[in-house]
């Protein structure tokens, strides 16, 4: 039976990946950092907490000696590093913490692998945020990087260190440059889930207006459950490489807002521009969406659209769920949660 260590297991991807690995008959060690409140709801939703092959282990990514001891104790075949301070907005307020966790944290694991057992395979959760300011469209594995946030810069450091450990020490270290991927398990701070949760609340009469920042940013949004399968595939090849996972379709934040309201049979009419823009329910005349400059970032990534053809060719990986299907799935999950009186 193969053993995998998954960092960031309390997050969206960690939960989906653990479920996938358990289905593939792995023994899965989910690494959690110590917090004062329990944060196991995603694993609970996917019903993996009581699985006999699933084990929660204590680990903070910033703890270098803890990484060595953990790998020595578990002796995993594969390590998936999904832990990060992953919210771009917060990285502007906490650049040093973000650098320590999101950047240096990956090197703690790479070093531990080098010291404990260089045959352990390593996956690094890299990101389209590394492309940042548009250098080419669509973006692929050869597109130059230009990160636009402390988060993007920290991830770029971790990405290059992954490549470096691959080339310097022959470690099987793969880097997945994943474009935005969403699901009903997405954190409420990210824009898609913020929108679908608000749309559910508005339709249940629990909220009047949704406030957002830049509506013109374009993102390539896919379905998280499909993307974790791509991560696994990257560690099953003969040679470690860098792969882009994306859908190849880009939409504006405003278009996702329209899509989510349409899932509730509400058509929005847009008026105004920039910070004065608002969306009105065409039937009731009520303002439902308003721009609030507080949600703008010091520097924005304007246009992300990925070219996943290398992953398609080498890994047989392909996105299947359309953005409309994904958006509807998220709205329906949020309706259900809000009807039951809670949303995480
Ligand atoms: P989440 O924000 O949902 O999860 C992040 C995870 O990292 C949480 O489990 C969190 O734990 C953990 N974490 C944070 N700091 C530490 C630390 N010091 N020690 C140990 N664990 C820590 O992210 P996603 O699941 O969406 O993303 C997974 C990874 O993929 C991240 O690295 C992200 O940056 C990257 N990525 C995500 C994309 C996306 O669209 N979702 C796209 C490209 C890359 P806790 O619950 O304790 O906070
Ligand atoms: P992103 O995701 O920064 O792409 O990073 P997020 O959903 O936070 O933002 C996407 C775009 O929406 C714009 N936006 C808003 N964003 C948020 N969060 N809240 C708002 O109110 C709002 N209004 C407009 C943003 O400005 C941005 O342009 C995500 C994370 O998962 C990263 O960890 C990951 O690496 C990348 O995706 C790929």
As for the ipTM of the complex, it is 0.99
Omega of the bond prior to 138 within 30 degrees of 0, cis? Answer: yes
In short, whether 86's Cβ falls inside 6 Å of ligand 2 is yes
Q: Which residue has the tokens 């792969």?
A: 243
| C-beta of residue 218 within 8 angstroms of C-beta of residue 179 | no
What are the start-end ranges of the E strands in the chain?
3-7, 27-32, 54-58, 78-81, 121-127, 173-178, 181-182, 210-212, 218-219, 222-223, 242-245, 251-252, 268-271, 278-281, 287-291
- What is the tens place of the pLDDT at every residue in 35-87? 998 899 999 999 999 999 999 999 999 999 999 999 999 999 999 999 999 99
For the stretch 115-131, pLDDT in tens is 999 999 999 999 999 99
The dihedral through the CA atoms of 221, 224, 228, 233 has a sign that is negative
Q: Is the pLDDT of residue 342 over 90?
A: no
Retrieve residue 274's tokens: 């920039």
DSSP class per residue in 26-73: -EEEEEE---SS---HHHHHTT-TT-TTEEEEE--TT-HHHHHHHHHH
pLDDT of residue 33: 97
Q: Among 36-45, 200-209, 211-220, 280-289, whose mean pLDDT is lowest?
A: 36-45
For ligand 1, whether the C-beta of 84 sits within 6 Å is yes
180 lines ligand 2 (CB under 6 A): yes
Q: Does domain 191-217+252-302+327-340 have CATH number 3.90.25.10?
A: yes
Tell how far the Cα of 56 is from the centroid of ligand 2, in angstroms.
29
Average pLDDT score over residue span 178-187? 98
Select 3-183+221-250+304-321's CATH number: 3.30.70.1400, 3.30.110.70, 3.40.50.2300, 3.40.50.720.
Answer: 3.40.50.720
Atom of ligand 1 nearest to the CA of 83: 7
pLDDT in tens, 5-37: 999 999 999 999 999 999 999 999 999 999 998
Residue 343 has pLDDT above 80, yes or no: no
Where do the structural domains in the chain lie, given as residue ranges? Answer: 3-183+221-250+304-321, 191-217+252-302+327-340
**pLDDT value at residue 143:** 98
Active site residues: 127, 129, 151
| 3-class DSSP assignment, residue 199 | helix
Average pLDDT of the residues of the chain? 98
pLDDT exceeds cutoff 80 at 298: yes
pLDDT above 70 covers a percentage of the chain that reads: 100
pLDDT for the residue numbered 344: 79
């Amino acid at each position: 039976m193969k053993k995998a260590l998954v960092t960031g297991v309390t997050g969206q991807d960690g939960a989906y990946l653990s479920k996938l690995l358990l289905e593939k008959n792995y023994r899965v060690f989910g690494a959690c950092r110590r917090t004062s409140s329990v944060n196991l709801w995603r694993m609970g939703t996917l019903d993996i907490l009581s699985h006999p092959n699933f084990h929660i282990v204590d680990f903070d990514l910033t703890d270098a000696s803890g990484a060595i001891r953990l790998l020595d104790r578990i002796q995993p075949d594969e390590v998936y590093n999904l832990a990060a301070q992953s919210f771009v907005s917060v990285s502007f307020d906490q650049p040093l913490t973000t650098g320590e966790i999101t950047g240096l944290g990956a090197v703690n694991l790479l070093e531990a692998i080098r010291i404990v057992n260089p045959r352990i395979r390593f996956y690094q959760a890299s990101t389209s945020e590394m492309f940042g300011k548009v250098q080419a469209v669509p973006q692929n594995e050869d597109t130059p990087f230009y990160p636009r946030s402390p988060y993007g810069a920290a991830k770029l450091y971790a990405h290059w260190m992954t490549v470096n450990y691959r080339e310097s020490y022959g470690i099987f270290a793969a880097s997945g440059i994943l474009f935005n991927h969403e699901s009903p398990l997405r954190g409420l701070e990210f824009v898609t889930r913020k929108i679908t949760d608000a749309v559910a609340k508005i339709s249940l009469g629990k909220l009047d207006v949704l406030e957002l920042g830049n509506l013109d940013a374009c993102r390539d949004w896919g379905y998280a459950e499909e993307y974790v399968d791509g991560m696994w595939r990257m560690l099953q090849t003969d040679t470690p490489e860098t792969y882009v996972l994306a859908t190849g379709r880009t939409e504006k934040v405003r278009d996702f807002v329209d899509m989510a309201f349409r899932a509730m049979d509400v058509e929005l009419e847009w008026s105004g521009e920039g910070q004065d823009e608002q969306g009105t329910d065409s039937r009731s005349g009520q303002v439902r969406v308003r721009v609030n400059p507080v949600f703008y970032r010091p520097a924005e990534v304007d246009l992300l659209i990925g070219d996943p053809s290398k992953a398609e060719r080498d890994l047989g990986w392909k996105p299947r769920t359309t953005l409309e299907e994904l958006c509807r799935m998220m709205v329906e999950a949020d309706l259900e949660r809000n009807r039951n009186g809670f949303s995480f």
